[in-house]
Structure 1
Amino acid sequence: MHTGQDIPRLADIQAIRELSAVYNRAVDDGSVDTFVSIFTDDGRFETVGPSGPIVREGCEALKEVAARPRRQQLHTTTDAVVTMDGDEAKQISALACFKRSQNAGEPPSIGWSLRR
């Protein structure tokens, strides 16, 4: 049974999950300002591209990430598990990236990864 003391914790968990959704939409829409606003001034973005790891740090580098051309993609996260320890929180979720086909009738391609 949850108590009134759980409400701030549950609100924090929901805010973290919503941040993932805002991130996904900013990436898909190419919304530079929204994407950069998700990070702190010394924010760090890490991913793996076709030629290896990609790391960008700081606002200017993050703007470059968000401004790159869109490829008709849709990112979505599922199965989010948020753990909290004081003021620290971690989220682990599954990330699915759908890429629309350029050919009518061809199904979209799908990629999965685990995101923290």
Structure 2
Amino acid sequence: MTEIPEGLEARVQWLVDREAIRELTAAYTRCVDEGDFAAWAELFTEDGVYITPERRVPKAELAAFGAEILKDYSICQHLLGQHAITIDGDTARGRIYYAGFHVLRGGDPGRHADIGGWYFHSYRRTPQGWRFAKVGGRLVWASGERFPYLDMIGPKD
């Protein structure tokens, strides 16, 4: 459980930082669901990376990476659940539950590839506000059509 700091000023800053980080994660899913991968990449620090079991995708490649992974889907919806956020000055870590629903192109909403698990985030405070330094995750479940990029999301167990 996250430890709440002592003192009014420290507590207010802690609450503001937590809310800013929650807004950042909401922007992450909104950008992905709307297919705005350039905006998604801008949510990362200049040295930020998206980590898969196979590779580390740097910020400069994120827009193309996101577009490639979701090219087969006409609709995406990513839902976020519990946020466990630990703040340490100008850095923070988070574990966020997610469920992602992906409707295949072709108009049949009954054909979808669904996945869920946890995101593991590292954040850094920048002059533009909180940004992702690292994003990784753990795939816990998959349902429906096979999501073709499972190896890019889940660990190699």
Q: In structure 2, how many angstroms separate the alpha carbons of the residues matched to 1:30 and 1:47?
A: 20
**How much has 1:3 moved relative to structure 2?**
5.3
Instruction: Work out whether residues 29 and 70 of structure 1, in 8 Å CA contact, stay in contact via their aligned partners in 2.
Output: no
The change in CA–CA distance for 1:64 and 1:85 in structure 2 (over 3 A counts) is: same
Q: 1:28 aligns with which of 26, 30, 33?
A: 33
Amino acid at match of 2:67: A
Task: Name the SS of the counterpart of 1:100 in structure 2.
Answer: strand
* Number of equivalenced pairs: 109
The one-letter code of the counterpart of 2:101 is F
For 1:64, the equivalent position in structure 2 comes to: 64
Match among 79, 87, 106 for residue 76 of structure 1: 79
SS of residue paired to 1:62:
helix
SS of the residue 1:94 aligns to: strand
- Runs of 5+ unmatched residues, structure 1: none
Q: Which has the higher contact order (CA 8 A, sep 6+)?
A: 2
Give the drift of 1:110: 3.1
With structure 2 as the length reference, what TM-score do the two structures score?
A: 0.59
Between the aligned residues of both structures, percent identity stands at 26
Deviation at residue 74 of structure 1 after TM alignment: 0.9
Preserved CA contact (<8 Å) 1:83 1:90? yes
More strand per residue: 2
d(CA) in 2 for partners of 1:24 and 1:84?
21
Q: Deviations over 1:41-99 (max 9, x none)?
A: 22211236xxxx3531132x112123332612111211001111222211111111012
Equivalent residue for 1:110? 114
Q: Distance in 2 between matches of 1:26 and 1:73?
A: 11
